[in-house]
Amino acid sequence: MDPALTSLLAASIAFVGSHVALSHPLRAPLAARLGEKGFLGLYSLVSLAAFAWMIVAFRAAYGSGAPAWNGQTDLAWAVASGLTWVALVLFLGSLKGNPAAPTTPAEQVAEARVTGVYAVTRHPMMWGFALWAVAHILVMPTPRSLILAGAILILALLGAHLQDRKKEALQGMAWKGWEARTSYWPRWSRLPSAGWRLWAAALILWLAITWLHRPGNGFVAGIWRWL
């Protein structure tokens, strides 16, 4: 394997592995030793370091290997554009009133209403990341993109599953009740329940982010491909 791709693969494994390890088996003993704030500081430092390594390795792997298929078709770009818009709807909707947030008490989880993006999935942020990854794999199936986006896809979906198990252990019936009222797998037919304001906000942000692809990454994204 190309050395640049090897470095990217190692960075991606470190990124996913450190998140899983620190969020689950290592969280309790480290939090007991360092305190909650100390643990969160360590978690943030390790995550940022692994992410920075992954981005540097990704840029270094430019031109390493041919695409697995032709992602530069109008159909692929249209599908990817739609997926990233939906991803932003889910992500933005998850920033308010998220029962999965670390600071949300069990009593609040037990009383949580299934509205907005939570009517689609109880893990809207994770599924937003997953859709982002799928969209990038679809249009940029180069070895480096498959590794980086694949790592984010695995972390998002595995992380959501493991979060359910952790929350069940920590919050018992409160979280199990939330699981019974919601779905891990997205109910796509309920996307309109996110509300037009959220869709509009996501569209504005999506237009800005995709426009910035050209100066930031050297190529266009979204509708700017056709404009």
Give the DSSP per-residue string, 127-188: HHHHHHHHHHHHH---HHHHHHHHHHHHHHHHHHHHHHHHHHHHHTHHHHHHHHHS-SS--G
For the four alpha carbons of 65, 70, 73 and 75, in that order, the dihedral sign comes to negative
Report how far residue 104's alpha carbon sits from residue 96's, in angstroms, rounded to the nearest whole number: 11
Q: What is the pLDDT of residues 111-166, one digit of tens each?
A: 999 999 999 999 999 999 999 999 999 999 999 999 999 999 999 999 999 999 99
Over pLDDT 70: what percentage of the chain? Answer: 100
pLDDT at 216 over 90: no
The encoded tokens of residue 194 equal: 């996110």
Given pLDDT bands bounded at 50, 70 and 90, which one contains residue 22?
A: confident
Q: Are 208 and 134 in contact (CB under 8 A)?
A: no
- Mean predicted confidence (pLDDT) in 69-75: 93
